[in-house]
Amino acid sequence: MFLKKLVLSARSGALIRRITILSFVAITLSLTAFFIVLFVMNGMNRNIKTRIMALEPHLTTQHSPAQENDVKEVIGSDQRLSYQAFDLIVRTIDGQFRGAEALGYTTEGLSTWMSQLQQMRSQKRSVFFESGIFSQLQLGTNEVAMGIDLARMLGLLEGDEVTLIPPETLLLSSLETPLFQKVTVKRILATDLYDLDSKLMLFNSEFTLKSFSQTLSRRSGDHIWFSSVDKANAVQKQLLQKGIKSETWQEKNSDLFFALKMERLMIGTFLGLAGLIASSSILTVLALLMSQKQRDIAIIKTLGMSQQRTLWLFTKMGLWIAGGAIALGTILGVGISLYIEYNPVNILPNIYYDSSIPSAVDPVFVGIVLLVASTLAFLGSYLPAKTTLGIQPALLLRQKN
C-alpha cells in the first residue's frame, strides 16, 4: 500500500515514479542478459570440451619400446592406440607451404579413431556430417587424410599430391640430398576442432613415412582413452613414477581452456557492472523519496509508527522494487536459457563449427547470483532508509507549508 501511494501513484511525483519504473526495467533486463549470455557461453564451452574429449586422447604417452610392458601394466584394459607423430612441412605442386602434424596409427587404430569421429559427429549433428561417409578410412602406401582447414589453406582437393618435408631438412647444405616424401591426399576430414582441422594429417604407420623414422621430430607412444576421464591424472602419476612421460588432455588444451575462462570472466564482469549500475538507481529512488516525503514520514511517526518500523517500512519498499526486478530477471533469464538448452536455436550460418546456439544452465551459479543480488538489493534499500531515523516529526509539523 505504501509503495503504491508514495511511489507509484500519480500524486507521488512524476520524477520518482519514472525513475522507479526505469530502475525496475533496467535491473530486469540486465539480469536477464547476464544469465542468457553466460549460460550460452557455458553451452559453447561444453560443446568444445565434448568434441575435444571425443577425439583428443585423455592421456598421451611418449616412451620407448622397452617401456611398453610398464605402460600395459598401468593402463590395464582401457583403450590404447599406438601412434607415431611428426612435425612436417607440406608443399603443394603450386609451391604453397604450410606446417602440419602428421599422426600415424595402424589400420586398426585408424578404424577406431574414425568410429569415434563418426559417433561424435552424429551426436552433434554437425553441418558437415553425412551418414556413413566416415565409417571407414582405408589408407594405403603413401596415402594421407588431411584436415579440412589445412586443405583449404593449401587449396587441395582429394586426389592431389603433396610433398612432406621434415623441418630439419631446411638446415642442410646445398650439397646434401634433402629428405622428402610424396603422398596423395585420399580423404579430407572435418572434425569440428580447429586445432585438428588446421594441422592434422593422418597416415597409416604400417605403410607410410617409413623413411622418416630417424627424423628429430618423430614421437611415438600411446594415445589412451579411459572409461572415466577422471582417471587420467591418477594414471599420469603412476607413469611418472616409472619414468614415462605423459600429458593429459587438460594440459594439452590448457591455453584454450584458459582463454575461454578469461572470456567468460571478462564478459560476466562487464555484464555484472552494467547490472550494478542499473540497480544503483534504487538508491536514487529512495533518496528522492526521503527528500520529498519528509512530512508524510513525520505524519506516519506521529500516528504511532516507531523508528524501527518506519526504517523497515522504507527498506521493504526498496526491496519490493529491486527484489521484484531480480525475481523477474532471473525467471526470464533462466527460462530462456533452459529453452535454448533443450531447443538449440539454429540461426548461425554454416561457416561456423556450431551452427546452433547452445546453452547450459548451472543451478549453483543461479543460486550464487541470487544471493549476491539480494544482498546488494538489501544494502541499497537499507542505507537510504536509515535517513528516516533523523526525521523529527515535531520540528517538521511545526513548519508552515
Residues 347 and 221 in one domain: no
* 198 and 315 share one domain: no
Same domain, 217 and 314: no
Return the C-alpha cell found at 165: 618435408
- Same structural domain for residues 155 and 292? no
In-domain check, residue 239: no
The candidate with the shortest Cα–Cα distance to 318, out of 276, 371, 363, 376, is 376
Which of 225, 241, 270 marks a domain boundary?
225
Q: How far apart are the first and last CA of the chain?
A: 26
Q: What is the pLDDT of residue 129?
A: 41
Instruction: Give alpha helix (H) positions in 131-206.
Output: 148-154, 194-197
In a domain, 358, yes or no: yes
127 in a domain, yes or no?
yes
Strands annotated E in 32-115: 59-62, 79-92, 97-105
Query: Do 22 and 8 meet the contact criterion of CB atoms below 8 Å apart?
Result: no
Specify whether 9 is located in the same domain as 124. Answer: no
> DSSP labels for 271-282?
HHHHHHHHHTHH
Residues 275 and 375 in one domain: yes
Kindly compute the dihedral angle of the four CA atoms of residues 87, 91, 97, 103, in this order, to the nearest 10 degrees: -30
| Closest by CA position to 203, among listed 143, 244, 162 | 143
Domain membership flag for residue 74? no
Name, in order, each residue with C-beta under 8 angstroms of 102's C-beta and a sequence gap of 6 or more: 85, 86, 87, 88, 144, 164, 201, 202, 203, 209
From the list 344, 336, 337, the residue with the least C-alpha distance to 126 is 344
Say yes or no: 274 and 386 in one domain. Answer: yes
Q: Looking at residue 203, what is its pLDDT?
A: 92
Residue 339 in grid coordinates: 529453452
- Residue 67 lies inside a defined structural domain of this protein: no
Q: Are residues 108 and 209 in the same domain?
A: yes
Low-confidence ranges of the chain (pLDDT < 50): 125-134, 401
**Does one domain contain both 185 and 267?**
no
Q: How far apart are CA 157 and CA 359, in angstroms?
A: 36
pLDDT in tens, 80-101: 888 888 989 999 988 888 889 9
Rounded Cα distance, 5 and 11, in Å: 8
Q: What is the pLDDT of residue 334?
A: 92
* Per-residue CA distances from 55 to 195, 214, 265 (Å): 11, 27, 27
pTM: 0.71
Q: Are 106 and 204 in contact (CB under 8 A)?
A: yes
In 3D, which of 150, 151, 119 has the Cα closest to residue 134?
Answer: 119
pLDDT at 6 (0 to 100) = 57
Distances from the Cα of 15 to the Cαs of 1, 18, 289, 330, in angstroms?
19, 5, 10, 27
Number of separate domains in the chain = 2
Residues 44 and 120 in one domain: no
Percent of the chain past pLDDT 70, that is, above it, reads 79
Does one domain contain both 197 and 100? yes
Q: What is the pLDDT of residue 126?
A: 43
Question: 3-class SS at 52?
Answer: helix
Judge contact between 178 and 52, C-beta under 8 A: no
Q: Give the separation between CA 39 and CA 384, rounded to whole angstroms.
A: 34
**Which domain, by its residues, includes 374?**
2-51+257-398
> Residue 391 domain-assigned?
yes
Residue-level pLDDT at 177 = 75
Same domain, 210 and 291: no
Looking at residue 138, what is its pLDDT?
83
- Residue 91 forms part of a structural domain: yes
